[in-house]
Chains A and B, each alone.
Chain A
Amino acid sequence: MSAPTKKAAAPKSPPAVVPTPQPTTTGTSPGNIDGLAIAITVFSTMKWWGKPWLKGIFLMPKLLPARSATLKELSFIHFARWSVVSELADPADPAAKRTLNHSHLYFESNFNGGWEEYIDAFSHVLTDKMTQLWGSSYGFPGPQPTVPFKDYIKRSEKRLEASHFYSAYPESTVTMISQSLQLDEQLQGLKAIAADLTPEEFAKAFKAAVAEGQRCF
Chain B
Amino acid sequence: MAANFYNVKGFCKITNNAVFVNGRIQHEVPQIPFAQFAEETYKHFKISYPKFYKMDNLSKLGFLTTELLFENLQLKANHKPDRIGIIVSNKSSSLDTDIKYYNMVKKGVASPAVFVYTLPNILIGEICIRHNIKGENTFFVSEEYDIPSNVNYVNGLFESGMMDACICGWIELMNEEYESFLYLVEKEKVKNLLEHSASNIEKIYNQKPSVYAGVNARSEKTDC
Q: Real complex partners, A and B?
A: no
A-side residues, CB < 8 A to B, are none
